Structure 1
Amino acid sequence: MTDHRTAVAHRNRRRPLTRLLAGATGLACLSLLGGCFAAAPAQPASQGTGQRIALAMLQPPRSGLTPLSDDAFKLSRWATAETLIMLDANGEAQPGLATQWEQASPKTWVFTIRQGVKFHDGTDLTPERVAASLTAATKASPKPRILDGVTLTISHDATTVTIGTAEPDPLVPQRLSSPQLVILAAKAYQGKAVSPVGTGTGPFELTAVNGTSGATLQRFDGYWGDKALASGVDVSFVPDGAARAAALRTGTAQVVEAVPVGQAASIEANLIHEVPMPRTNTLYLNTKKGPFADPAVRAAARAAIDRARLVQDVYEGRADIAEGLLGPALPWMAGERDAAYTALRDEHRKQPATIDKVKITLGTFTDRAELPEVAVLLEQQLEAVGFEVTQDVREYQYIEADALDGDFDAFILSRATVLDSGDPVAYLYSDFACEGSFNIAQFCDKEVDAALKVAAQAPAGQERRAAIATVEALVLGNDAAVPMLHERVIQGEAAGVTGVERDPRERALITAKSTLDA
């Protein structure tokens, strides 16, 4: 059966936008869909066009914009907070707030800190400040996901920061590129929560946050690099996909994150851009309790799923059928799925059980507009083989905790696979290690944990890629998760917008070069 909330959410997403209201408060609101966008205040132009950019984002902050959570990726996409290391298009480490680095020993890395950098509050970036920010991340509870399974010791001298690891870690520079390890001024850490307001080093200063409604950023003229062309950015959080699409059509927002596939046809083709994403639409199965504790029942669910239909019917062909957890955004993975990989995966798979009126709960969230529709089709496919499905569909902020606690038999998640370090090992550990912090499948397997340890210690290159493939084969062999499709995000950019990043890793968007035609 289909949960009533799912049907309502589905109907609401299809309703046309009927009117715009201009309020006396200076907000332009999409009346039926609840998306409000802060009107851009007039700003003098000191360089570039001086225009402000209105940005509509998918999800509101989940943790008050603390950089020690996934909210850190918003700070990165707004170019307000920076890390020691940046990644290029190939995932290779490049200078950020660190100008150079070396591996002094198997367990020791030394980073030279950039000189002449000011925080937005006017204080100086120093090795001492860098060490303090990183130390705060290591002591956070819960830890940032990039530090799952990692123990760091941090020290500094007048020009460098030294990072020690409990085990040899060939990806320390890539780890330090994670937005969850941004470097902030001392005053960011003075309250109960870490505050990024006025404490970053990026070309834009975060000056105000309006709860889960929006945020305001101003150009920081003391930036150490090229100064921002735009005078500021006005951010609105708009979970409803139809509202985001309407904002792009009407010009209420100039940059729009994640236009839903179902809305793409209503927008001029030159305003939307498909970006292949390292993001997999995955069905996580609860391996600890309930019907899916039986691997044969998990195998039956996996066998019931028609991936091609999901891609065509829900994503209108704007996605790729999943062959594994890692998709086309990591093209090297296809070459790793050889005969040995297939044999390892199939060795662990059970024959599908015969299903007869097995009741399961299926959860997902509304923030990504396609997921409720995926749930409807998935329910049909599962019920066709004998499952009885009850759906629970809510906004992500209201369902995440229940999913992590294992309250669902199955959960559909649109999951980024290389956000943290440009390398998928952190994602695989987080989701499938016994102690992983994002283990929705409640999965724990000694063989997988051992394979994850090998992958984590392997040097970058072919050896590491092979180890990653082994982990994927084992996870799929256990049917802890069923990868269904790999998404291509649709990014909206109004006419006249230039210098906006189209980043597969979803960590860059607004940059110092982002601007609007006058």
Structure 2
Amino acid sequence: MRFPRRSHPPRGSRPPRLLASLLLTPFLAGCFASSAGGDGAAGEGAGDGSRLRVALAFPPTGHLSPHGADATLLSRLGVTEGLTALDGNGAAAPALAASWRRADDRTWLFTLSEAVFQDGTDVTPAAVAASLTHAAEARPAPAALSGITLTAKAEGADGVRVTTGEPDPVLPLRLSSPSLAVLAPKAFAKTGAVDPVGTATGPFRITRLTGATAARLDRFDDYRGGRAQASGIDVRFIADGAARANSLRTGQVDIAEAIPVAQAASLDAGTRRETATTRTTSLLLNTRSAAFRDPALRAAARAAVDTSALADGVHEGHADPGAGIYGPAVTWAAGKRVPPTGRTWSAAPGRTSLTLATYDNRPELPEIAQVLKQQLEKAGFTVKLEVREYSRLESDALAGKFDAFVGARNSLLDTGDPVSLLASDFTCGGGYNLALLCDKAVDRAVAKARAVAGTGERQDAVMAAEAAVLGTDAVVPLVHQRVITGVGAHVGGVLLDPYERTLVGTGTRR
């Protein structure tokens, strides 16, 4: 099905874009509709509007490259967009691509909407193809492309041909990933670097980044979806959850993400928004470390964990006990779940010592880690706990420097496709494989699920792959989270969704 192309101001009518003023010195140092619609988008009569003040939990970790952990930050702030987005049912919806069709089992053709980059250049098939090519060649690979070989080429005046090495029946869904945002050629001018400053397509553009503490965004008036109601966004990165809650309570910010459970009661009921999410907190066991190379010791660690103590205790009922990699927000998972396969009998820990690491950007995680430490020590392990801010922990975690890791992961964040999480987190070639798991049975099960096209059949294959992963005891699902967002009583149009891809859009205002 083709969609009508959006009207756009004449090319010559655009004001000059900021150039040198957008170059950042600190930058070098240091299921739901996209914001294009579905959020009460403002029309041209929105006026100048007020600036929004937003407190985020996670500062940039990768120089704001969308190919890494910062992709969601850019998406949530309305900076970047992809060819597709996710609609209310978690299906692929038009974004920079107005429509698409499958040409053969490995090839898709996307027809572009009429749009402009924040540097004033047109969104062309060549620019889109080049942006996707850079993402495909990035190392480590974006999680959405874990195990996927992708090539993109311009096709005529408004088309992009995307080809995959193997058949990929959910490619339009995959291309909705924040890590596959489309950027202007200028973003890739520096070898090995990706600069989204003034090169994205969203309703807001970054104009200043102050290290890991703050950022300024201004409205992008040429946004294809209409002018945003807010004139800009002032962002503060506040790792401490109590400080985020206090900043909302005292009126210093309008929106504060990830309010800790312990701080929720301190906010007026009208300023709390609780959202069921597809985020699962898990214990990941390093399968190559001395402590957990033996699957029997991993089984012993899994047997030591009491998840109900975490959901009812640490989360005070604002979470559900871990049932699997996919929780209650993935509505079809519970009815299709099968028992873990290939699980080993547990062994006595003996004198096994281990280092358990987590981060404090999500305040519940250190508390969970402390409870796990007690549970594991009761079972016979000797546990050292290490807590850092996430940006100072990620590289060591990916390098396997810890024996165990407690992390919160949105199971459908990267693509909206449940297979992608399994591929990126639990296969031999996975780009976010914190457990360093490399198991042939798991890889086969994930590959099988990836090849299935039918929705119901794909879900069945996903749950069989989940059973294979859980059978290794490389991951112990702990709790399925509900996220509390603080929203000022005067603020409207905030975008909250289970995938946590959106927060601010064209209709967000105060």
Q: TM-score, normalised by structure 1?
A: 0.88
Question: CA deviation digits over 1:372-407, x for unaligned, max 9?
Answer: 111111111111111111111111111212211212
1:427 and 2:433 correspond: no
TM-superposed deviation, 1:265: 1.1
Q: Tell me which residue corresponds to 1:18.
A: none
Of residues 481-490 and 397-406 in structure 1, the stretch that sits farther from structure 2 once superposed is: 397-406
Instruction: Please tell me whether the aligned partners of residues 142 and 431 of structure 2 are also in contact (alpha carbons under 8 angstroms).
Output: no
Paired amino acid for 2:445: A
TM-superposed deviation, 1:357: 3.2
Instruction: Please tell me whether the aligned partners of residues 117 and 184 of structure 2 are also in contact (alpha carbons under 8 angstroms).
Output: yes
Question: CA deviation digits over 1:126-185, x for unaligned, max 9?
Answer: 111111111111111222111111111211121200011111100110111111111112
Identity of aligned residues (%): 49
Q: Tell me which residue corresponds to 1:37.
A: none
Paired amino acid for 1:263: Q
Structure 2 SS opposite 1:63: coil
Q: Equivalent of 1:131, from 129, 132, 139?
A: 129
Structure 1 SS opposite 2:459: helix
TM-superposed deviation, 1:49: 7.0
Q: Tell me which residue corresponds to 1:180.
A: 179
Q: Tell me which residue corresponds to 2:410.
A: 416
Q: Tell me which residue corresponds to 2:318.
A: 318
Instruction: Please tell me whether the aligned partners of residues 64 and 211 of structure 1 are also in contact (alpha carbons under 8 angstroms).
Output: no
Residues in 1 aligned to 2:454 and 2:183: alpha-carbon distance in whole angstroms: 29
Q: Tell me which residue corresponds to 1:284.
A: 284
Residues in 1 aligned to 2:48 and 2:247: alpha-carbon distance in whole angstroms: 22
Tell me how large the CA RMSD over aligned residues is.
1.3
1:102 and 2:101 correspond: yes
Structure 2 SS opposite 1:441: coil
Q: Tell me which residue corresponds to 2:232.
A: 232
Question: CA deviation digits over 1:273-322, x for unaligned, max 9?
Answer: 11111111100111123121111111111111111111122111100111
Residues in 2 aligned to 1:380 and 1:315: alpha-carbon distance in whole angstroms: 17
Residues in 2 aligned to 1:211 and 1:200: alpha-carbon distance in whole angstroms: 20
Q: How does 1:144-155 map to 2 (within 5 A)?
A: 144-155=142-153
Q: Tell me which residue corresponds to 2:440.
A: 446
Residues in 1 aligned to 2:203 and 2:286: alpha-carbon distance in whole angstroms: 44
Paired amino acid for 1:135: T
Residues in 2 aligned to 1:289 and 1:209: alpha-carbon distance in whole angstroms: 38
Instruction: Please tell me whether the aligned partners of residues 79 and 204 of structure 1 are also in contact (alpha carbons under 8 angstroms).
Output: yes
Q: How does 1:414-493 map to 2 (within 5 A)?
A: 414-493=408-487
Q: Tell me which residue corresponds to 2:357.
A: 363
TM-superposed deviation, 1:474: 0.8
Q: How many residues align?
A: 465
Question: CA deviation digits over 1:405-457, x for unaligned, max 9?
Answer: 21221111111211111112111111110111111111111111011101111
Instruction: Please tell me whether the aligned partners of residues 118 and 125 of structure 1 are also in contact (alpha carbons under 8 angstroms).
Output: yes
Question: CA deviation digits over 1:481-515, x for unaligned, max 9?
Answer: 10010111111100111111111111111000000
Structure 1 SS opposite 2:141: coil
Instruction: Please tell me whether the aligned partners of residues 118 and 198 of structure 2 are also in contact (alpha carbons under 8 angstroms).
Output: yes
Question: CA deviation digits over 1:351-389, x for unaligned, max 9?
Answer: 221233321211111111111111111111111111111
Structure 2 SS opposite 1:391: strand
Instruction: Please tell me whether the aligned partners of residues 171 and 460 of structure 1 are also in contact (alpha carbons under 8 angstroms).
Output: no
Instruction: Please tell me whether the aligned partners of residues 49 and 515 of structure 1 are also in contact (alpha carbons under 8 angstroms).
Output: no
Structure 2 SS opposite 1:449: helix
Instruction: Please tell me whether the aligned partners of residues 116 and 224 of structure 2 are also in contact (alpha carbons under 8 angstroms).
Output: yes
Paired amino acid for 1:386: G
Instruction: Please tell me whether the aligned partners of residues 48 and 515 of structure 1 are also in contact (alpha carbons under 8 angstroms).
Output: no
Residues in 1 aligned to 2:182 and 2:291: alpha-carbon distance in whole angstroms: 45
Instruction: Please tell me whether the aligned partners of residues 342 and 472 of structure 2 are also in contact (alpha carbons under 8 angstroms).
Output: yes
Residues in 2 aligned to 1:182 and 1:189: alpha-carbon distance in whole angstroms: 13
Instruction: Please tell me whether the aligned partners of residues 132 and 152 of structure 2 are also in contact (alpha carbons under 8 angstroms).
Output: yes
Q: Tell me which residue corresponds to 1:249.
A: 249
Instruction: Please tell me whether the aligned partners of residues 362 and 389 of structure 1 are also in contact (alpha carbons under 8 angstroms).
Output: yes
Residues in 1 aligned to 2:316 and 2:290: alpha-carbon distance in whole angstroms: 34
Paired amino acid for 1:311: A
Residues in 2 aligned to 1:243 and 1:408: alpha-carbon distance in whole angstroms: 28
Residues in 1 aligned to 2:403 and 2:140: alpha-carbon distance in whole angstroms: 24
Q: Tell me which residue corresponds to 1:16.
A: none
Consecutive unaligned residues in structure 1, runs of 5 or more: 1-44
Structure 2 SS opposite 1:142: coil
Q: Equivalent of 1:397, from 375, 391, 398?
A: 391
Q: Tell me which residue corresponds to 1:17.
A: none
Consecutive unaligned residues in structure 2, runs of 5 or more: 1-43
